[in-house]
A and B are shown apart, each in its own frame.
Chain A
Amino acid sequence: MTDWKKAALALSAGIVGIGLAACAQDDQQGDSAAADGPAEAAAASDTPAAQGSDDDKSGAVRPPKNPYPSTYNPYPSETTFITGATVLTGTGERIDNGSVLMENGRISAVGADLEAPEGAVIIDAESKWVTPGIIDIHSHLGDYPSPQTASTSDGNEITGPNTAEVWAEHSIWPQDAGFTRALAGGVTAMQILPGSANLFGGRSAIVKNVASRTVQDMKFPGAPYGLKMACGENPKRVYGDRGGPFTRMGNFSGYRKAWIAAKDYKKKWEDYWSAYDEWDPDGDEDEPSAPTRDLQMETLMGVLDGDIRVNMHCYRGDEMVQVLDMAEEFGYKVTTFHHAIEAYKIADYLAENNVCAAVWADWGGFKLEAYDTIQENAALIHAQDGGCAIIHSDSAIGIQRLNQEAAKAMAAGRRMGLDLPEEVVISWITANPAKAMGILDQTGTLEAGKMADLVVWNQNPFSVYALAEHVFIDGAQLFDRNNEAISPRVDFEIGQGGNQTTGGAGQ
């Protein structure tokens, strides 16, 4: 194996993972953020003073749930009418010769018999296809950016098997050229995860794929946090000679000890809050003192509270089912198993437990727990009643063609006889990841009222020849394949190569 191959493995297979960690807002707050402007709403709902203040008391201590709030604001958009296209809505519907109207950054109408409002920008999309913006539930853009040097390798905090306290957003470099290439592939939102070296890798960040000076400007307004956890080979390989875990048994004892500690921690705070509620400032007793904050436990408590979504890197079917028991033991929910090479062996368990599986179309075999990969995996996950299949990338190259990955998985499913029309399969890279990430109320489908995140493809996107021609995020066209001026270039790529500008989304 050559060096670059080894590097690719280390990044994408060996010790990469995901980590989602702390949901700051509930759905209702998300909605208000969408309506009122994300920054203000997020700030208002998450400051300690706003939560639990009391006329008679200065207020109990409440650790901030969202101290690095989204400052994302949509870019200016025009009323835009896309017409004559084959529209896949992401809700399972296909509209031939369909139209989509975007107004004020939102989708305002989708259908077959729409008329363009006066003054609208018209995109004639005859023979073209329109889909929701592509969403990658598993990316390391920004935390394993290009260039890949020791200086920029910020995806795995390999200093202990439990680093639930780290947040991916504190590693994300907004100047990663990979964001621009993903945009040219139609990706409008993604979850960026810590790597998979650790049992608990840390919190994820969900971002809009909008070039920004700051991470906060990219953060998806109202999106929950996720926690990245990892099964199997990676933690034991990394820590086997560094104090453990040394075995899969060790992995599980590591998880369970942490959940026990998190339950204790949660109880300490809840006891403190009820003591504070009962405390009479005019009485004899001292003001109850708050527990000491512990960042690691705060993330795990967020999971137990249902605020933070668990994203678990897990290849083997038997391990996934044991993880489901563990979740029940401690009263939390696993939202998505990532990589899930053997999901097809236990797809019934996943569907029964309402857990999504995010998989590659045809990548595998690079380690023993990935040895049993089959191309029908996604189709078999989907084929269960209530099955939730997601195609993910885990790769700065793969994220550029999630449409093609979905097409491969679709074709494999069709060859085994499953009925898998494009309008259904598109949900594997749009609505399903949006649902799993907690942003489906805002994006992921083409429905009136949602963020106008969409892609105009030059042809059926389930083709190797398909290219994203126009990519809109909140109604603003941020990529136009035919106009170099509408194509982002990161700082690293300007003034290079004999003082030329290289790069650009369509590079």
Chain B
Amino acid sequence: MTMTVRKQIIAAIASTACVFTPVFAQQTTAIMDGRVLTGDGQTIEGGDVIIRDGRIAQVGSDLSAPAGARVIDASGKTVTPGIFAPVTTLGIEEISLDAEANDSGPNRGEGFPLGAALDAVDAIRSSSMVIPINRAGGVTRALVVPSPGDSLFGGKAAVIDLSGSDNSITRAGVAQVATLGYGGANRAGDTRMGSWAMMREMLDEARSYSANPNDYIRRAREGRHAIADLKALAPVVSGNQPVLAFVDGETDLRTLIRVKNAYGLRVIVVGGNEAWKVAPALAAANIPVILRPTSNLPSQFEDLGATLENAVRLHRAGVTIAFTGTDSDSFNLTALTHLGGIAVASGLPYDTAVAALTRNPAEMFGLGDDLGTVAPGKIADIVLWDGDPLEVTSAAEMVFINGAEQDLSNRQSALLARYRDLSRGALPHAYRGGE
């Protein structure tokens, strides 16, 4: 593509990602004397964080609480940026094995015609009870990721906050999901060659469409790809919207880098079990990896190199990392912090693990100016922990989103309140703990 054409495309489709405006808490809060992990490698013992009108106003070690501020004594607590969960189905999947309660993607094998055109924003249910459960675990932001049906592309992922409010979308169209590796082969004649040929074909068609949509629509063509999908891929081929590529094996990762360079894509890898084998090339291509720290089994041939040291090896090579789980576990994203601890136990520097849970996802998704660290000017997504946030025995004690303290009660705490006493009582259990 010539630069001229590319500029035209950018002009045509720039800013397709819309940013929503959060409601900021109109108050001043001073979190005083905590152990502050900033998310960008610093630890401030006895640290203070001043929050004003939803944003962090000051961070330091000898600050004074502003007059009229709500003062929170954080001594003995650890203060971190809110956990940013980079691969979730929050709000689009209440229960994975219940068809009506699972909107995470089209069913496989049913020939549903669209892929890239799907948009998580259309289905996110911010009142899902799964959101408060994760909020209580210190998760404040998440990327909501649609999964592909019969197309290689799954649609547009969106970042949400976990306030549960009806305007909790932080940014729509953050990334376009693609399944590659064996998942791609499954959708392309059961061969990886098929998945890459189809990927290139779709990117070519999307370029062609973007160059002149009106002409493209009138043109005689095979019609294999829906216009809606090609339209959705326009920001991808212009390099504005990253591809969130689910891929694990070394060979697929090398092909992915070639395709990225050939088409000028932005790419974020999810999985990357063998990414450590390609680490220098990933670093050179500026491709971050959202990896699974516990993945160490040869589940498929593309996973033969899976190792607990994936995180530390990628880090040493200069690859930006974040974490995701191995199960369908948007129900329990708190476990992300434990995955950080597991990566540390396998050699990853502690501060890098903290950054991988906070700053790195924010930056990967283009939200680094507003989110991801405890620093002046950032949106105040803050968590107070009762101990080391990466430790399995620790818990979040206070959670702030957009500067507002969050309610940490949830359906699980209501069930606990109802059933912690099993004695018969004056009225049945159905009268208890539901307030």
Q: What CA separation (Å) do A506 and B179 show in the bound complex?
A: 29
Task: Determine which of B179, B299, B393 lies in contact with A408 in the assembled complex, contact meaning CB atoms within 8 Å.
Answer: B393
* Bound complex: CA A411 to CA B337 (Å): 15
Q: Whole-angstrom distance from the CB of B185 to the nearest CB of chain A?
A: 10
- Interface pair B98/A368, CB less than 8 Å apart: yes
| Given A2-B179, A366-B96, A463-B392, A374:B304 Cβ within 8 A | no
Sort chain A's interface into a size bin.
35 or more
State whether A464 and B391 are in contact (beta carbons under 8 Å apart), knowing that A147-B300, A507-B296, A507-B307 are contacts in the complex.
Answer: yes
Q: A368-B98, A507-B306 are in contact. Are A376 and B299 (CB under 8 A)?
A: no
Across the interface, name the chain A residue whose C-beta is closest to B145. Answer: A2
Do A397 and B393 touch (CB < 8 A)?
no
Cα A60 to Cα B297 with chains together (Å): 50
Q: A345 an interface residue at 8 Å Cβ cutoff?
A: yes
Bitwise, B291-333 to A at CB < 8 A (1) or not (0) is 0001111111101111110000000000000000011110110
Are A465 and B345 in contact (CB-based, < 8 A)? Answer: yes
A367-B95 in contact (CB<8A):
yes
Contact B97 A367 (CB under 8 A): yes
Residue of A nearest to B345 (CB): A465
Q: How far is the CA of A396 from the CA of B298 in the complex (A)?
A: 11
Taking a contact as CB atoms under 8 Å apart, the answer to whether B95 and A368 are in contact is yes
Please tell me if the beta carbons of B306 and A1 are within 8 angstroms of each other in the complex: no
B side interface size, CB within 8 A: 60
Closest-by-CB residue of B relative to A345 is: B419
**Closest residue of chain A to B105, judged by CB?**
A1
A383-419 CB contact bits vs B (8 Å, 1 = yes)? 0000000000001110011001001101100011000
B298 touches A493 (CB 8 A): yes
In the docked arrangement, what's the CA distance between A3 and B391, Å? 30
B209 at the interface (CB under 8 A from A): no
A464 in contact with B338 (CB, 8 Å): yes
Our pick among A146, A365, A467 for the contact of B331 (Cβ within 8 Å) is: A365
Instruction: Tell me if B95 and A463 are in contact (CB < 8 A).
Output: no
Q: How far is B274's CA from A496's CA once the two chains are assembled, in angstroms? A: 13
CB of B128, distance to nearest CB on chain A (Å): 11
B183 interface residue per 8 A CB criterion: yes
Q: Which of A371, A397, A502 contacts B298 (CB 8 A)?
A: A502
Shortest CB-to-CB span from A308 to chain B, Å, is: 30
Instruction: List chain B residues, Cβ under 8 A from A346.
Output: 422
> What residue in chain A is nearest B246 (Cβ atoms)?
A2
Q: Which chain A residues lie closer than 8 Å to B286 at the CB level? A: none
B409 within 8 A of partner (CB): no
* Complex contact B297–A366 (CB within 8 A): no
Report if A5 contacts B (CB, 8 A): yes
A181 at the interface (CB under 8 A from B): yes
The residue from B95, B300, B429 contacting A148, defined by CB atoms under 8 A apart: B300
- In the complex the two chains form, is B271's CB within 8 Å of A408's CB? no
| Residues in chain A near residue B98, CB distance under 8 A | 367-368
Question: How many Å lie between the Cα of A395 and that of B294 in the bound state?
Answer: 12
**Contact across chains for A4 and B271 when beta carbons are under 8 A apart:** yes
List residues 255-309 of chain B with CB under 8 A from any CB of chain A.
271, 294-301, 303-308
Pick from B271, B295, B345: contact of A464, CB below 8 A: B345
Interface string of B414-427 (1 = CB under 8 A from A): 01100110100000
The complex places the Cα of A147 from the Cα of B98 at a distance, in Å, of: 28
**B373 lies within 8 A of chain A by Cβ:** no
Contact in complex: A374, B298 (CB < 8 Å): no
Please tell me if A492 contacts chain B, counting CB pairs below 8 Å. Answer: yes
Q: Decide: A371 near B95, CB < 8 A? Known: A3-B186, A181-B296, A415-B395.
A: yes
Contact for A363 among B295, B298, B332, B344, CB less than 8 A: B332
Cα distance A146–B301 in the bound complex, in angstroms: 10
Known A-B contacts A371-B95, A397-B294, A497-B304; A362 and B326 likewise in contact (beta carbons under 8 Å): no
Interface residues of A in 160-210 (CB under 8 A from B): 177-178, 181
Which residues of chain A from 443 to 463 have a CB within 8 Å of any chain B CB? 462-463
Could you mark each residue 349-366 of chain A with 1 if its beta carbon is under 8 Å from any beta carbon of chain B, else 0?
000000000000011111
Are B97 and A14 touching (Cβ within 8 A)? yes
A9 to B105, CA, bound (A): 15
8 A-B contacts (beta carbon < 8 Å) = A344-B419, A363-B331, A364-B332, A366-B95, A371-B95, A401-B342, A463-B393, A503-B298
| A-B contacts besides A397-B326, A507-B306, 8 pairs, CB < 8 Å | A2-B246, A5-B96, A147-B303, A177-B298, A362-B335, A365-B130, A371-B95, A400-B296
- Which of B's residues lie within 8 Å of A, judged by CB? 89, 93, 95-98, 101-102, 104-105, 108, 130, 147-148, 179, 182-183, 186, 246, 271, 294-301, 303-308, 326-329, 331-332, 334-335, 338, 341-342, 344-345, 390-395, 412, 415-416, 419-420, 422, 429
